[in-house]
Amino acid sequence: MTMIRRSFLASLAAASLAVAAGPAFARQLSLGEVSSYLNQLQSASSGFTQINGDGSIQTGTMYIKRPGRIRFEYQGDRSMMIAGGGQVAVFDARSNAGPERYPLNQTPLNIILERNVDLGRAGMVTGHTSDGTKTTVTAQDPAHPDYGSIQMVFTSDPVELRQWIVTDNAGQKTTVVLNDLKPGAGISDSKFNIRSEMSKW
């Protein structure tokens, strides 16, 4: 285990202890409250730490503009991931090829980027629990569970999305931990223009 990974995991443990030191029994959010929160989260920006399936760690800045748009800018190189126009494009600075592209509606992230998030739909939620400090909701596309799932973690009072774990159709897990989420941030539509970024690339 690398020193960076050990340091990050230690930071996560400290953050967990800090949360536990708060109210002993934070209430469990209902699916309606979670759906309403996501629908009201029209735009936001946040720093993030990403833990990939191979154990590697990346950091950067995330921008979200619902419906259908999200952007991850990775620190240290030009790599980024953009969703916009119904597509997802992954720009890998280590590759000489163009970005890898695929339909957004075939990824678990589409669940939180839909115009109308309704976690009450039959077959969508496969897990809904609380450990006394946070609420965890696991969701999938009920028509295509083979596309994978997203496990979202929220705190309450005020409601805030803190992290998610995406499990793709191959069973690979990617964890994204958000920090300093700023809702209502003014974000230009150009950040989600895949064709424009491809021309710059």
pLDDT at 6: 41
Q: Write phi, then psi, for 80 (nearest 5 degrees).
A: -160, 160
C-alpha dist (Å) from residue 148 to 31, 70, 101: 20, 18, 17
| Euclidean distance between CA atoms 13 and 84, whole angstroms | 35
User: Does the domain spanning 25-200 belong to CATH 2.40.128.110?
Assistant: no
- Return the pLDDT at 96: 78
Share of the chain above pLDDT 90, in %: 74
* pLDDT tens for each residue of 25-36: 668 999 999 999
pTM: 0.83
C-beta of residue 83 within 8 angstroms of C-beta of residue 109 = yes
Q: Hey, is 104 helix, strand or coil?
A: helix
Residues 35, 50: Cα–Cα separation, whole Å? 24
- Which pLDDT score is estimated for 23? 47
- The Cα–Cα gap between 3 and 11 comes to 12
Could you state, in order of their start, the residue ranges of all structural domains in the chain? 25-200
149 with 140: CB under 8 angstroms?
A: yes
